[in-house]
Amino acid sequence: MIENKLTPKITDDGSYTFFSDEFEELFHSHSGAKQEAQYKFIEPCQIKEKITIKNTIKILDVCYGLGYNTATCLETIWAINPNIKIELFALENDINVPLQAIDANLLNNFSPSVIDVLTSLANNYKIETKIFKGQLLQGDARQTIQTVINQNFQADAIFLDPFSPPKCPQLWTVEFIKLVSQCLGKEGYLATYSCAASVRTALQLTGLKIGATRSIGRRSPGTLANWNSNNLSPLSQQETEHLQTRAAIPYRDPTLKDTAQSIKKRRQKEQDCSSLEPSSHWKKRWFN
């Protein structure tokens, strides 16, 4: 029996997503679930370019959800080289999400080989063929990430796709991002849709270099990170100044066990005693 039946919602590019009652947020932007996977994750991580220089592509999909980021990545790779080896770790708390996406045929516009992988991952958690090795780790990503670290997995691409920082601060903290960054290979890229100053600061505090991903239409840019700053588009003056305001104070979760509420409270306290410029002043300078 399926608990908490999720209702599919169509997005502007014709692809479907879900709405989360728990997080009070859509799983993707209104402008398009499929588009978001392509432009915020797959293109920035330069998956196509990696295919030409690597024998095995290693992917870490943090917050697998319906599986769009993994699906788009596999589709992109297999369209160019169906024989290249792929290793995947996917982290997801709620197995109902990928299961219901498959049951409702929401990802049917992907090719059959991609749908087969998504179906196996959702039903069996594990899949291993000659060219594909994938594992879906169910549970709180703050704990399951340890399995990925223990295997010394060094990803070519990490997709960091939790709900927004105010709704799911647990997965945007300095401590969690530090663990995720341990799984990023020397030449790998970490992409996220978020351009929040707190997220960018957390990435920088782990030692990563950051750049902006392109914004589509009127949507804000996302963030791309790596170790060596190669191929990163520099932040604009406006974005750089944002990182000097109180909005840039990151979320913290020293024990990796706190509730969203206490993580938010901790940050609020730090913001209240901060001598940094309030972000309302920055907004006034740039948007009035």
Ligand X SMILES: C[S@@+](CC[C@H](N)C(=O)[O-])C[C@H]1O[C@@H](n2cnc3c(N)ncnc32)[C@H](O)[C@@H]1O
Among 134, 162, 165, 211, binds ligand X (CB under 6 A): 162
**Least gap, CB of 25 to ligand X (angstroms):** 7
Position 270 contacts ligand X (CB under 6 A): no
What SS3 string covers 207-267?
CCEEEECCCCCCCCCCEEEECCCCCCCCCCHHHHHHCCEHHHCCCCCCCCCCCHHHHHHHH
Position 163 contacts ligand X (CB under 6 A): yes
Residue 189 is encoded by which pair of tokens? Answer: 């890229």
Q: Contacts with ligand X in 85-144 (CB under 6 A)? A: 91-94, 97, 140-141
Position 69 contacts ligand X (CB under 6 A): yes
**Least gap, CB of 170 to ligand X (angstroms):** 5
Residue 5 is encoded by which pair of tokens? Answer: 């039946």
Q: How far apart are CA 99 and CA 212, in angstroms?
A: 33
CA distance to 9, 190, 235, 255, per residue, from 213 (Å) = 26, 11, 9, 31
Look at strands 85-92 and 132-138 and give their pairing.
parallel
Q: How far apart are CA 155 and CA 181, in angstroms?
A: 9
Q: How far apart are CA 123 and CA 1, in angstroms?
A: 14
Nearer to ligand X by Cβ, of 23 and 227: the residue is 23
**Least gap, CB of 157 to ligand X (angstroms):** 13
Position 175 contacts ligand X (CB under 6 A): no
**Least gap, CB of 238 to ligand X (angstroms):** 26
Choices 65-73, 118-126, 178-186, 240-248; region in contact with ligand X by CB under 6 A: 65-73
Residue nearest to ligand X (CB): 65
Among 44, 65, 134, 221, binds ligand X (CB under 6 A): 65
Choices 58-66, 75-83, 204-212, 257-265; region in contact with ligand X by CB under 6 A: 58-66
Q: How many residues bind ligand X (CB under 6 A)?
A: 22
Half-sphere exposure of residue 62: CA atoms within 13 angstroms, side-chain side? 31
Look at strands 132-138 and 126-128 and give their pairing.
antiparallel
Nearer to ligand X by Cβ, of 90 and 235: the residue is 90
Residue 137 is encoded by which pair of tokens? Answer: 């780790």
Among 45, 66, 73, 190, binds ligand X (CB under 6 A): 66
**Least gap, CB of 178 to ligand X (angstroms):** 16
Choices 117-125, 159-167, 209-217, 230-238; region in contact with ligand X by CB under 6 A: 159-167
Q: How far apart are CA 191 and CA 125, in angstroms?
A: 24
* Beta carbons of 71 and 40 less than 8 angstroms apart: no
Q: How far apart are CA 129 and CA 125, in angstroms?
A: 14
Choices 45-53, 80-88, 168-176, 234-242; region in contact with ligand X by CB under 6 A: 168-176
**Least gap, CB of 112 to ligand X (angstroms):** 19
Give the interface with ligand X as residue ranges (CB under 6 A): 27, 37, 63-69, 91-94, 97, 140-141, 161-163, 168, 170-171
